[in-house]
Amino acid sequence: MTNQATSDDTAQRGELAIPSYRLLDAAQLDLIHQATLRLLATTGVRIAHAEARDLLAGAGCRVLRDDIMLIPSGIVEASLRSAPHAITIFNRKGQAAMQLEGRNSYFGLGTDLLRTEDLETGQRRPSRLPDVINAARIADACANIDFIASFALPTEVPTNAMYVHCARAQMENSTKPIFFTAAGREDLARIIEMAEAVAGGADALHARPFIINYSEPTPPLTHSFGAVSKLFLCAEKGVPVCYTPAAMLGGSAPVTLAAALVQTNAEALSGLVMHQLRRPGAPIISGVALPPLDMRTSCVSYAAPEMRLGNSAFADLYHHYGLPMWSSAGSDAHTFDAQGALENGLGILLAALDGANLIHDVAYLGQGLLGNPAAIVMCDEIIGYAKRLLRGFSLTSEALGEEVIAAVGPGGNYLSAPHTVRHFRRDVWQPALLNRDGPDSWEERGGCTYQARVLTRARELAATHEPEPLPPATLRALHEIMARAEEQLADFEFVA
């Protein structure tokens, strides 16, 4: 969604009214930034990767003790200048699909849900590979879902190759950009090899990336061997990486949002430093997830207001840095119900108002543990609503319509006015599934609830949508890579 980026000049001339939201002012942003720089320079971060420590030491960082490195502010500032301020993500066919910069917002799925609420039976069960395929196909058919992710972690495939299975399933069942995870450098390499086969070679993938790897540091203030290994491989290959801290308020991060933002920003920026030292200018996306640890239940609240405030603050901070950033939606509901709709709706709208670039986890349920394909269809419509809000409305002389008001005059109507014909399709958003019937006509049509309409539509898409297929030669290449990956990774022990 590029409405704000493409309409900035018009908006500045006063011809567009566009909603805007900002949480932190310039002084508050500088307060967080300076506290982050002090933390990195005096407390430092633990880096469980010898090559990364050598790289940092060679750039002027100091070893505090063992594997804890202190990073001077000058190195951080240089890395902020080195990282790209805009990243173009393509689709599987090599067409530009997302321009991650400014306040352009794009929406997509999340990864690795352990359980799935079955679309037919409504029963919650362990996720399987067909759930990955189902999510990809349904999201492929949803116009407002800009990128896909596995949406499930299959339990019936070999564990060491499960992420490779997910990647192959997504590449085969949607043309949209793919947001994906990997256990370590080894399976990440196989997934990149698959993407190269789809793109037409390593150079083609580098020029037109359609995949984004998701990886995380470990709070508090730790970068594991596995995370850094993936970070470095993405830098070497030029594959965009989303390296985003996720910490629990009161658990793995301080309970106050301000302190948690300082800690997680230090984790994000130290990851950025390593990535840019490895390959200056390589594409990287950052962000933060700060759900609170509920002290009554010991559960993490994925949709709490504190989570949304943290997202907003981090979006402001990375707009200030001029770097692409990630955000999230999702719900704590353990079934596809009204709570799932409410929390996904608020999360999507707030992330859109933040101007976050890559908004993932839409349609998540169960505190990031449960998926239901119907929630994808529901969130597709919620995103359409949010995009219409962000488009605002025009204040041009044509839009002000003084001539048509005068022509119709007191007591008239605008149904047949040419002005109405010219504008109603664009100016008035039409939902696909939300009810707009009157009470009597709604009952005459069967009195169907929104939840029921969404479920019906999701089942239709799962049964009938046929994504654009890959060429047979590419399919054969993916299957060959998959077979090698299963053999190579069968007994491999991933190092965290």
Q: Distance between CA 54 and CA 58 in Å, rounded?
A: 6
pTM over 0.85: yes
Cis amide bond preceding 220, omega within 30: yes
Residues 52-78: tens digit of each pLDDT: 999 999 999 999 999 999 999 999 999
- Those residues whose C-beta lies under 8 Å from the C-beta of residue 460, and which sit 6 or more positions away, are none
Question: Domain 1-395+431-496 is classified in which CATH homologous superfamily?
Answer: Trimethylamine methyltransferase-like (3.20.20.480)
pLDDT of 298 reads: 87
Of 239, 270, 315, 241, nearest to 79 by C-alpha is 270
- Please give the average per-residue pLDDT across 292-301, as a whole number: 90
The tally of CA atoms less than 13 A away on the side-chain side of residue 290 is: 30
Q: Distance between CA 292 and CA 311 in Å, rounded?
A: 13
Whether 95 shows a pLDDT value over 60: the answer reads yes
> Where do the structural domains in the chain lie, given as residue ranges?
1-395+431-496, 396-427
pLDDT of 20 reads: 82
Residues 235-245: tens digit of each pLDDT: 999 999 999 99
pLDDT of 145 reads: 98
Average of per-residue pLDDT values in the chain: 95
Q: Distance between CA 316 and CA 6 in Å, rounded?
A: 20
pLDDT of 104 reads: 96
- Please give the average per-residue pLDDT across 30-49, as a whole number: 98
